[in-house]
Chain A
């Protein structure tokens, strides 16, 4: 999956005086990208962005047709069954992670396996945190790029 330029610029700006935090945040992001199949994580990252109202970023590696169809993932033929169960998980994860239900979670376990589920959930946490941080920092600091 491609780097996400605007988020990376935002972190470079806000964390310029905290290089250790920036270094570890960047390392966590890279580890997340390495742990999950790129298209799957990018679909979920974009869905998170839509739900949170964060700006879409260029260089995603997804074609325009797929991006346009993402809000219709439950019915669109452009998405596999694995992608659908992971997008369902992602939506609950973003909206209220504490009440994420068993059927949604077990569907991901069935699709990805136990190890894949653990990797996916942790990677999802990283990409969600990055987008939430960027949104908050854009509100707090005028110099943070959008």
Chain B
């Protein structure tokens, strides 16, 4: 699928399903990201623009 404004990249699965980084690293990353998004000093519009830019940069469609 090609999303407007982005390139279409065909990829193979790179890792077996269910493969994750080590639990301490995954958990620490999740907690750091959660702590960051709990901050509320940036206005909602800027926050959303940054989120969309990050999603595009990381090829994330959430």
| Chain A 1-49 residues near chain B, CB threshold 8 A | 18, 20-21, 23-25, 27-28, 30-32, 34-35
Which label, helix, strand, loop or mixed, suits the secondary structure of the A interface?
helix
What residues of B have a CB within 8 angstroms of the CB of A18 in the complex? 35, 39
Which label, helix, strand, loop or mixed, suits the secondary structure of the B interface?
loop
A114-B19 CB under 8 A given contacts A25-B32, A102-B11: yes
Interface presence of A79 (CB below 8 A): no
B14 touches A119 (CB 8 A): no
What residues of A have a CB within 8 angstroms of the CB of B58 in the complex? 97-98
Cβ-closest chain A residue relative to B56: A98
Interface presence of A88 (CB below 8 A): no
Annotate A125-146 by CB proximity to B: 1 below 8 A, 0 otherwise: 1100000000000000000000
Interface presence of A109 (CB below 8 A): yes
What residues of B have a CB within 8 angstroms of the CB of A114 in the complex? 15-16, 19
Q: What is the distance, in angstroms, from B11's C-beta to the closest C-beta of chain A? A: 6
Interface presence of A122 (CB below 8 A): yes
Interface presence of A118 (CB below 8 A): yes
19 contacts between A and B (CB under 8 A): A24-B31, A24-B32, A24-B35, A25-B32, A25-B35, A31-B24, A32-B28, A35-B21, A97-B58, A98-B7, A106-B14, A114-B19, A115-B19, A115-B22, A117-B19, A118-B21, A119-B25, A122-B29, A123-B21
